Chain A
Amino acid sequence: QVQLVESGGGLVKPGGSLRLSCAASGFTFSDYYMSWIRQAPGKGLEWVSYISSSGSTIYYADSVKGRFTISRDNAKNSLYLQMNSLRAEDTAVYYCARDRVLEFCSGGSCYTLGWFDPWGQGTLVTVSS
């Protein structure tokens, strides 16, 4: 069955760095876009970043742009999130998710976007001194 398992979370001081990993199994990883989504304690969901199947297309939320780097290794069926210059507001459970994208054009622009299915169990990142 399709499975996503995150690891690498933990406690880090403000300004510090952390690298999250997501191991995928049960599907052809190299065929799918992948995303990271986070959820602050007791709060809602925030999309963080996504990467195309080949790794050639990458997008970030404005809140993490310039600080986080998404990458993937299709040979290892793995997704990564390098998080630098961490802030207290980055404290959250970080989920990796398989991205079920569609290609479509609307309002003069074209997009490759979709829904998330399935999600991993998440890994907690706590940024605190």
Chain B
Amino acid sequence: EIVLTQSPGTLSLSPGERATLSCRASQSVSGTYLAWYQQKPGQAPRLLIYGASSRATGIPDRFSGSGSGTDFTLTISRMEPEDFAVYYCQQYGRSPRTFGQGTKVEIK
């Protein structure tokens, strides 16, 4: 199965700063078959990005995704207070679908 490795494990930022999260796959996910989710404590994950760079409905444009093959990036251009959460990547280029271990973005 494809192993997704997210880095860093924890990112400490202040509101207004830019966040750059990485997701690296152990083998190609067949192009851009990658999604990003946000999860806040006690809540279900919420889809942010699919197809590596397409924003889901209702997601603010400060969230953007890029990459293909094995290297992907989620960027939050300016952190808002509600953006502090855990972020997961998920590949759907190969079965079984797998998730990264998550990056926690915390308030500095």
Task: Tell whether A and B belong to one assembly.
Answer: yes
Interface residues of A, Cβ cutoff 8 Å to B = 44-47, 59, 61-62, 95, 100, 102, 104, 106-107, 111, 113-122
Closest chain B residue to A95, Cβ basis: B44
The answer to whether B96 and A47 touch across the interface, beta carbons within 8 angstroms, is yes
User: Can you name 20 A-B pairs with beta carbons within 8 Å?
Assistant: A44-B99, A45-B90, A47-B96, A95-B44, A102-B92, A106-B31, A107-B30, A111-B95, A113-B33, A115-B47, A116-B35, A116-B47, A117-B56, A118-B47, A119-B44, A119-B45, A119-B46, A120-B44, A121-B44, A122-B44
Taking a contact as CB atoms closer than 8 A, the residue among A59, A62, A116 that contacts B90 in the complex is A116
Q: Point out the residues of chain A lying under 8 angstroms from B96, CB to CB.
A: 47, 59, 61-62
Closest chain A residue to B30, Cβ basis: A106
A106-B93, A114-B92 as given contacts; A44 in contact with B47, CB under 8 Å: no
Q: Point out the residues of chain A lying under 8 angstroms from B31, CB to CB.
A: 106
Report how many residues on chain B are interfacial, defined by Cβ distance under 8 Å.
Answer: 25
Q: Point out the residues of chain A lying under 8 angstroms from B100, CB to CB.
A: 44
Q: Point out the residues of chain B lying under 8 angstroms from A117, CB to CB.
A: 47, 50, 56
Indicate whether B20 reaches chain A with its CB closer than 8 angstroms.
no
Beyond A104-B30, A111-B93, A116-B37: 5 further Cβ-contacts under 8 Å? A44-B100, A62-B96, A113-B94, A117-B47, A121-B43
Interface residues of B, Cβ cutoff 8 Å to A = 30-31, 33, 35, 37, 43-47, 50, 56, 88, 90, 92-102
The answer to whether A46 and B47 touch across the interface, beta carbons within 8 angstroms, is no
The answer to whether A100 and B50 touch across the interface, beta carbons within 8 angstroms, is yes
Cα distance, A41 to B93, chains bound together (Å): 27
Top-3 shortest CB links A-B: A115-B35, A117-B47, A119-B44
Q: Point out the residues of chain B lying under 8 angstroms from A116, CB to CB.
A: 35, 37, 45, 47, 90
The answer to whether A46 and B99 touch across the interface, beta carbons within 8 angstroms, is yes
